[in-house]
A and B are shown apart, each in its own frame.
Chain A
């Protein structure tokens, strides 16, 4: 049974969510203020954090940053009344995996949860066997998120590791930005394709001798990207 940490200060909404999530077979731990989240989070094992942004004490964005600073890769789904696109981006930059704006259908929330768990399972598929992908003296560890390149070893974020894994698994194939968006962020789309480009830049800095003329993570003009060994 998957355990969800629900962080929501509104009592009525929380009770409704707990009722539905438990009916769907999830176990739910509820916290109604920002101050207690981190201690509850550190004491427990959670498969996902459902996190409101406007909270008493500490806001959801700060909590998400703290979770990531702890080195946790647990998926974070923001539950927010704020629907401006820059506010959504803010949540994703803080380390969130997805967001859903209030009011929402339970069916949509459940679909988002399943999408996150599906993507998580795909990433973990390498993790269970302790898979390390090695190529040309470089390596990518799906378990520790460590990436080793000519400049040394760097710890990737959850999403960076997912982008790298998706490309590596399709070695030699051209992958479009939309494919990457769907696979890593979900079908409902991240606000901009530019985001993918930024992730590729980061991977090039780690793995390429010369990031300006990449040999491994190539840009295919007008289409997307391709990973190939030299």
Chain B
């Protein structure tokens, strides 16, 4: 991921630091020499000792002031250089994630299209028996649903649903909503055995846009489904109230996250790792949308993990109660 421009910016920053420190040392030495010089001149001109002393004091004070101003300027310069460096690094990271996003979307859109085209060619082929052609229909439907999901995500990301969510708030039975989304997830076909533990407090009410909130919860659950440990999928879904908050917790025993990724997973286009060696399907938009939607509900979403291989827990916190 490190690119030349980031490295160049870092080298420039280090050079600035070295120059600034050298300049500061030079000022201190130079100013000390200047004070001594002036005192010597006053002494040579036969000035009385108290006058020489006064000149010395005055010069030292003046030089300290100039020195402090110089140091302040240097600090400003260094802070500026540091900020520029940080901005460049961020820009590089964003570029990397955008490139990854383009690759992911290209792959996610073109693969189901390719699959559908191959299925259509199979239906048209006289060499393939009719009974095998029948089996292609559910596969093609699955491809269409995959395309629909990605198109919806990309469109939704363009809209950024905060205002929309806020405009369509209504009293929602959160317990029923969570049950419904989890039941839908359980119906997904997964290659590995799926176990879902539910601990849902009944009758929890919130003000929400039910479609958006379902989408956010689906994104979180989909994440837990995808990032399994390779042997089985075990997901726990909890809903409880905590004083005036409704708290949804989704935990898995999957591959886990390191500390930086716990925050970064909610960034737009962010996907852990490199797209060329993508471990899972996805575009890096699902959790970004989940965060935007939850924020649109004036709630919060956080990811927690004890590290790689130790599973991940997502916590969504919303204001409880069917009133704004």
- Kindly supply a per-residue 1/0 record for chain A positions 102-123, scoring 1 wherever the CB is within 8 Å of any chain B CB and 0 otherwise: 1111110000000000000000
Residue-wise, chain B 82-126 has the 8 Å CB interface mask toward A (1 for contact) of 000000000000000000000100110111111111110110010
Q: Give the number of chain B interface residues (Cβ < 8 Å).
A: 30
Which residues of chain A (47-69) have a CB below 8 Å from chain B?
A: 53-59, 61
Q: Are B121 and A82 in contact (CB under 8 A)?
A: no
Could you tell me the distance in whole angstroms from the C-beta of A21 to the nearest C-beta in chain B? Answer: 10
Across the two chains, which residue of chain A brings its CB closest to B113?
A103
Say whether A95 faces chain B, with CB atoms less than 8 Å apart.
Answer: no
CB neighbours (8 Å) of A103 from chain B are 110, 113-114, 116-117
Which residues does chain A contribute within 8 Å of B103, judged by CB atoms? 54, 82
The reply on B127 being an interface residue by CB < 8 A is yes
Contacts of A20 in B (CB 8 A): 118, 121-122, 125, 128
Known: A12-B142, A20-B128, A23-B125. A102 touches B113 (CB 8 A): yes
Is B139 an interface residue, CB under 8 A from the partner?
Answer: yes
Q: Is B275 an interface residue (CB 8 A)?
A: yes
* A81 in complex: contacting residue of B110, B117, B118, CB < 8 Å: B110
Is the beta-carbon distance between A10 and B111 smaller than 8 angstroms? yes
Q: Quick one: which of B119, B132, B142, B277 has the most chain A CB within 10 A?
A: B277
Q: Which residue of A lies closest to B105 (CB)?
A: A81
B45 within 8 A of A: no
The distance in angstroms between the C-alpha atoms of A19 and B111, with both chains bound, is 17
How many pairs of A and B residues are in contact by the CB < 8 Å rule?
A: 82
Which residues of chain A are within 8 angstroms of B113 by Cβ–Cβ distance? 102-103
Residue on B nearest A19 in the bound complex, by CB: B122
A152 within 8 A of B: no
- Verify if A213 is at the interface (C-beta below 8 Å from B): no
Q: How far is the CA of A12 from the CA of B108 in the complex (A)?
A: 13
**Looking across the interface, which residue of chain A has its beta carbon closest to that of B277?**
A59
Q: Is A174 an interface residue (CB 8 A)?
A: no
Return A103 CB to nearest CB of chain B, in Å.
4
Minimum CB–CB distance for B266 against chain A, Å: 23
Using A19-B132, A106-B122, A106-B125 as known contacts, say yes or no to A54 and B117 having CB atoms under 8 A apart. Answer: no
CB distance from B119 to the nearest CB of A (A): 5
Chain B residues with CB under 8 Å of A55's CB are: 276-278
Asked if B195 is at the interface of the complex by the 8 Å CB criterion, the answer is no
Most buried by A among B110, B114, B116, B127: B114
Residues of A within 8 A of B142 (CB): 12
Give chain A's interface secondary structure class. Answer: loop
A205 to B124, CA, bound (A): 52
A102 touches B128 (CB 8 A): no
Flag if B279 contacts A102 (CB, 8 Å): no
Chain A interface extent, by class = 20 to 34
Say how far A107's CB is from chain B's closest CB, in angstroms.
Answer: 7
B179 at the interface (CB under 8 A from A): no
Task: Name the residue of chain B whose CB is nearest to the CB of A53.
Answer: B276
Instruction: Chain B residues near A101: list those with CB within 8 A.
Output: 110
- Whether A16 contacts B125 by the Cβ 8 Å rule is no
Tell yes or no: A13 within 8 A of B by CB: yes
What residues on A are CB-neighbors of B111 within 8 Å? Answer: 10, 13, 81, 102
Whether the Cβ atoms of A56 and B279 lie closer than 8 Å is yes
Q: Give Cα A10–Cα B117 distance, bound, in whole angstroms.
A: 14
The interface residues of chain A lying within 8 Å CB-to-CB of B277 are 34, 54-59
Q: B239-279: contact bitstring with A at CB < 8 Å (1 yes, 0 no)?
A: 00000000000000000000000000000000000011111
Cβ-defined contact, A17 with B118, below 8 A: yes
Known: A54-B275, A59-B277. A16 touches B107 (CB 8 A): no
Contacts of A106 in B (CB 8 A): 117-118, 121-122, 125
| Min CB gap A51→B, angstroms | 13
B280 lies within 8 A of chain A by Cβ: yes
Flag if B117 contacts A57 (CB, 8 Å).
no
Looking at the assembled complex, report how far the CB atom of B14 sits from the nearest CB atom of chain A, in whole angstroms.
33
Is B42 on the interface with A (CB-CB < 8 A)? no
With A10-B111, A57-B277, A58-B277 in contact, do A16 and B128 touch (Cβ < 8 Å)? Answer: no
Please tell me if the beta carbons of B279 and A61 are within 8 angstroms of each other in the complex.
Answer: no
B136 at the binding interface (Cβ < 8 Å): yes
Q: Is the CB of A10 within 8 A of B115?
A: yes
The answer to whether A105 touches B115, judged by C-beta atoms less than 8 angstroms apart, is: no
User: Bound state CA distance, A184 and B117, in angstroms?
Assistant: 29
Q: Which 4 A-B pairs have the closest CB atoms?
A: A16-B118, A102-B114, A106-B121, A59-B276
| Chain A contact residues, CB within 8 Å of chain B | 10, 12-13, 15-17, 19-20, 23-24, 34, 53-59, 61, 81-82, 101-107
5 inter-chain pairs at a CB distance below 8 angstroms, sorted by A residue, are: A12-B142, A13-B118, A23-B125, A54-B277, A106-B121
Further contacts, 5 of them, CB under 8 A, given A82-B106, A106-B118, A106-B122: A16-B118, A17-B118, A20-B128, A81-B106, A103-B114
Task: Tell me the B residues contacting A by CB distance below 8 Å.
Answer: 103, 106-107, 109-119, 121-122, 125, 127-128, 132, 136, 139, 142-143, 275-280
